[in-house]
Amino acid sequence: MTAHHLGTLLRHLRPETFSGLFLLPLRIGFRGRPLRLFRRRPGQGGSRKKITRRNHRLYLESILESSTNTAIVATDQDLRIWLFNGEAERLLGLPRQEALDRSLVDIHDRFASRRGRDFRQVMDELRNRGRCHFEMWRNGHFLDVQISSLRDSDQDFAGLLLMGRDVTSLKRAEEEKKRSLLRLQRAEKMEAIGLLAGGVAHDLNNILSGVINYPELLLATLPPDSEYRQPLQSILDAGQRAAAVVNDLLTMSRGVAMAWQSVSLNDLVRDYLQSLEGRQLASRHPGVRIRFHPAPSLCPCRCSPIHITKMIMNLVTNAVEAAGEQGEVHISTACGAAADNTARGNGHAGGDVVVLEVRDTGPGIPAEHRDKIFEPFYSTKVLGRSGSGLGLAVVWNAVHSHDGNIEVGSDSRGTVFTVRLPAGKEADDTRQDATGDRAESPLPRGTGSVLVVDDDAMQREISRQMLTHLGYSAYTVSSGEEALTYLQHHRVEVVLLDMVLGGMSGYETFRQIIGLHPEQYVLLASGYS
What whole-number distance in Å separates Cα of residue 489 and Cα of residue 209? 31
Whole-angstrom CA distances from 435 to 158, 313, 423 are 77, 9, 21
HSE toward the beta carbon, residue 35, CA cutoff 13 A: 14
CATH 3.40.50.2300 occupies which residues in the chain?
449-525
Cα 69 from Cα 397, distance rounded (Å): 44
333 burial class (0-12, 13-18, 19+ CB within 10 angstroms)? Answer: buried
Model pTM score: 0.51
Structure letter (DSSP) for residue 216: H
302 near 423, Cβ under 8 Å? yes
Query: From the CB of residue 418, how many other CB atoms can be counted at a distance below 10 Å?
Result: 17
Burial class (CB in 10 A: 0-12, 13-18, 19+), 431: middle
139: alpha, beta or left? (left if phi > 0; alpha if psi -120 to 50): left
Number of other residues whose CB lies within 10 A of the CB of residue 271? 21
Per-residue confidence (pLDDT) for residue 113, from 0 to 100: 52
Within 77-129, residue ranges assigned H as helices are 86-92, 96-99, 119-129
SS3 label, residue 510: helix
The Cα–Cα gap between 85 and 68 comes to 9
Sheet holding 141-151, edge to edge: 81-84, 70-75, 157-166, 141-151, 131-138
Backbone phi, psi, residue 364, to 5°: 90, 165
Per-residue model confidence as pLDDT tens for the chain (529 residues): 555 555 555 554 444 443 333 333 333 444 444 444 444 444 444 444 445 555 656 666 676 666 668 888 888 888 899 888 888 888 888 888 888 888 887 776 666 554 445 667 777 777 777 788 777 777 777 888 888 888 877 888 888 888 888 888 888 888 889 888 887 887 777 677 767 766 677 778 878 888 888 898 888 888 989 999 999 988 988 888 788 777 777 766 655 556 788 899 999 999 999 988 899 899 999 999 999 999 998 999 988 888 899 899 999 999 999 998 889 999 999 998 755 444 433 333 445 899 999 999 999 888 888 877 887 766 654 444 455 567 788 888 889 888 899 999 998 899 999 999 998 877 665 454 444 444 445 667 888 999 999 998 888 998 999 899 889 999 999 999 999 999 999 999 999 999 888 889 999 999 999 999 999 999 998 766 5
Q: Where in the chain is the domain with CATH 1.10.287.130?
A: 180-256
Q: State how far the Cα of 210 lies from the Cα of 205, in Å rounded to an integer.
A: 9
Q: Locate CATH 3.30.450.20 in the chain.
A: 67-166
Measured between alpha carbons, how far is 415 from 434 in angstroms, rounded to an integer?
26
Beta bridge partners of 135: 144
CA distance 261 to 429: 10
Q: What are the phi and psi torsion angles at 230 (to 5°)?
A: -65, -45
What CA–CA distance (Å, rounded) separates 333 from 295?
Answer: 5
CATH number of 449-525: 3.40.50.2300
How many whole angstroms separate alpha carbon 44 and alpha carbon 22? 8
Single-letter amino acid code for the residue at 61 = E
- Domain spanning 180-256, CATH architecture: Orthogonal Bundle (1.10)
Long-range contacts of 44-49 (CB under 8 A, 24+ apart): 48/20, 48/21
Calpha distance 22→11 (Å, rounded): 14
> Any idea which fold 263-441 has?
Heat Shock Protein 90 (3.30.565)
Buried b (16+ CB within 10 A) or exposed e, 97-114: eebeebebeebeebbbbe
Beta-sheet strands, E only, within 113-184: 131-138, 141-151, 157-166
Pairing of strands 21-30, 521-525: unpaired
Identify which of 247, 196, 240 has the alpha carbon closest to the alpha carbon of residue 394: 247
Domain 67-166's class?
alpha beta
Sign for the pseudo-dihedral over CA of 292, 314, 203, 188: positive
Residues 6+ positions from 30 with CB-CB distance below 8 Å: 1, 63, 67
CB 371 within 8 A of CB 179: no
CA 465, CA 470: separation in Å to the nearest integer?
A: 9
Residue type, 457: A
| pLDDT given at position 186 | 72
Q: Whole-angstrom Cα distance, residue 372 to residue 392? A: 10
The rounded distance, in Å, linking the Cα atoms of 263 and 265 is 6
Q: Where are the beta strands (DSSP E) in 195-318?
A: 261-263, 289-293, 301-303
- Helix (H) or strand (E) segment spanning residue 360: strand 352-360
CA 452 to CA 441: how far, in whole Å?
25
- Residues linked to residue 239 through DSSP beta bridges, in sequence order: none
**477 bridge partner residues:** 453
